[in-house]
Amino acid sequence: MTREPLERLFHSLNDDRLSYVVARKYETLPAVPADGDVDIYVAAEEFETLLDSCERAEFENSAASTASDSLALLDRAVRRPVTATTMLLQSPQTVFRLVRGDTMHRQNYRNRKLFCDGIMLDISNHLAYTSPMDETRIRVDPSIEQRMLDRRRRHNGFYVPAPVDELAHIVPHCVFDKQGDFSDYYVDRCDSLVQQLMSDGNSSELRQLFSDLFYEAGDLVYDLVLSGEYSVIRSRLRSFDEY
């Protein structure tokens, strides 16, 4: 597949000097990723500007392009039938939001799905994770968002998080958004990031981020991540008395 859509997109975002990061799974970009999804976090005050930039790069919102979006969703479902079936059965409202487009939750969290040539952009104005109590998205402390943007780095013509911020994002993403499941990709990625942070002597910042994310359970999560025990984090949090 052509690399043009994402190259065009990143060129547009950079021209507008937007404060954004591709939050995860960015290693193969700007080539089209295997699952077709690109997750972008942008500073809240620049959300609408980023949408304009995406439109110039020929990415369309689902409300304006129902037919093409439905085909893109169908294509992704065919490539990942188990995931698509599970989502439909367990969370039909999520499927509805994917087709409808822009969503807003409490704490002013906004999310938009945009499509172009089989690629789906998943754009958010805040870092937020799925509440274990319901399906709403809960925003992290604003300082976590700011640190990610302040420390972002350029990679292959677009911006990505610093290793410590990427790891601190992946862990709650898997724990809360993926119900505690760390895929083989995320296990390998977390292992690599942990090794890099230990080599760089940056473990204290990771401990602080986990404290800001998981509160009194921050040290527990920190220890489990450093020991590679990712699969038990969610269950251990449930049994943590002060969490």
- Does 193 share its domain with 101? no
Percentage of the chain surpassing pLDDT 90? 68
pLDDT tens, position by position, 52-72: 999 999 998 755 444 444 555
CA 142 to chain centre: 16
Domain-located, residue 142: no
Burial class of residue 215 (count of CB atoms within 10 Å of its CB; 0-12, 13-18, 19+): exposed
Domain-located, residue 140: no
**20 and 50 in contact (C-beta within 8 Å)?**
yes
Domain-located, residue 137: no
**212 and 140 in contact (C-beta within 8 Å)?**
yes
The pTM score is: 0.81
Name the residue range of residue 198's domain.
162-243
pLDDT tens, position by position, 20-49: 999 999 999 998 888 889 999 999 999 999
